[in-house]
Structure 1
């Protein structure tokens, strides 16, 4: 019984550190986040902190892994739903990802600044490898179901799943510069719509899926991203 209590206390303390660090990343940015400030807010010693995380990058990686688990909790019920066909699952899979990102917009913008910074290439690679390892089996399961239902036509379900994730990685690179630019132009939204439509078209071709089966009216889904969290807060205040 004591062991269970200790494990619960350990998990609670670890999550408390992650919660404070995540809020600091949102409000200050990762580079400006100081371990000393976290210790002060949490009222713990440096020894207590380093018992859980041996470095600032390790803390960041733990935050990303926790986010991954939270996203999985949204995606797994879709993948495992026996009432959905493969095409519905794939559409809901992508939609759930988009909805999660939009509902955590400030956090996503904060992490974008970390992930795509020039000096964070190693972290970016680790993050991508973790994402591939976590999401490939889920996408592969949907693709195999689609092959059985004769809606997807590919002899390489696992490799197709990995290539789809590669396309999402590429669209991240293609859009991050636009999203992180302080000043937007009227051409940004059509450009993002073209990028998204092209990526969706590529995914349909990889799957051997019916044409336009994954296309959606992107305008309403993309336009909220062109308002930065700071600008959105200012609009709400006004």
Structure 2
């Protein structure tokens, strides 16, 4: 039976949707290109028309998560709010729980999905850093804070925060995670040379 030809983007998204689901259920390493082909119902040549390798599919899946974050960050930067409010809202934009769903996050934390998990965390740092630097520099221009190494400090803060609070990496209970968050906020205050507890209340009000 002849398969109806589909639009390029529609077919590509169909492959990505299927691959993403299989990566989560079978694990990235165990999932093969043939698994994806069989599930979508396409020939190998069709797959390679869209993607050069399974790794390229993984990169595209991770890029989907970053698109959620980028869209949120761009909306924050367009708002007429203070640099402090922008900074806090940008950090809140890192959370992708609602977009990818709790079940997906649980699957991502499994050992067989370590590569997908690692790639996602790396992508968050790469994507978020430029947005944070833009706000840090805006705050410096407005004399809200001082920061000697905007990019490097934000990279350090991002890598620390998303790693230490990730339940898939560190087995921490709610109390421990809360203490880590408070310590991270204190660290951010030191990085920006603002008085202690300048951000804590604002974070508590927004981190729901």
Say if 1:116 and 1:35 are closer, same or farther in 2 by CA, change over 3 A: closer
Corresponding residue number in structure 1 for 2:176: 191
- The 8 Å contact of residues 200 and 214 in structure 1, kept in 2 or not, is answered as yes
Say if 1:34 and 1:101 are closer, same or farther in 2 by CA, change over 3 A: same
Corresponding residue number in structure 2 for 1:22: 20
Higher relative contact order (CA 8 A, sep 6+): 2
Structure 1 or 2: more helix by fraction: 1
How many residues in Structure 1 have an aligned counterpart in Structure 2?
200
Alignment of 1:166-181 (within 5 A): 166-172=159-165, 176-178=169-171
Corresponding residue number in structure 2 for 1:184: none
Alignment of 1:125-144 (within 5 A): 130-144=123-137
How far did 1:172 drift? 4.9
**Which of 192, 211, 214 is the aligned partner of 2:199?**
214
- The 8 Å contact of residues 175 and 192 in structure 1, kept in 2 or not, is answered as no
Does residue 157 (structure 1) correspond to residue 150 (structure 2)? The answer is: yes
How far did 1:175 drift? 6.2
How far did 1:127 drift? 5.5
CA distance in 2, matches of 1:116, 1:27: 9
CA distance in 1, matches of 2:70, 2:112: 20
CA distance in 2, matches of 1:115, 1:152: 43
Say if 1:79 and 1:113 are closer, same or farther in 2 by CA, change over 3 A: farther
Corresponding residue number in structure 2 for 1:105: 102
CA distance in 1, matches of 2:175, 2:20: 32
CA distance in 2, matches of 1:20, 1:78: 32
How far did 1:116 drift? 7.5
Unaligned runs of 5+ in 2: none
Q: TM-score, normalised by structure 1?
A: 0.70
CA distance in 2, matches of 1:163, 1:199: 11
Measured on the aligned residues, the alpha-carbon RMSD in Å equals: 3.1
CA distance in 2, matches of 1:177, 1:167: 12
Q: TM-score, normalised by structure 2?
A: 0.79
- The 8 Å contact of residues 171 and 199 in structure 1, kept in 2 or not, is answered as no
Say if 1:128 and 1:27 are closer, same or farther in 2 by CA, change over 3 A: closer
- The 8 Å contact of residues 109 and 168 in structure 2, kept in 1 or not, is answered as no
CA distance in 2, matches of 1:27, 1:115: 10
Corresponding residue number in structure 2 for 1:40: 38
CA distance in 1, matches of 2:129, 2:57: 25
- The 8 Å contact of residues 189 and 196 in structure 2, kept in 1 or not, is answered as yes
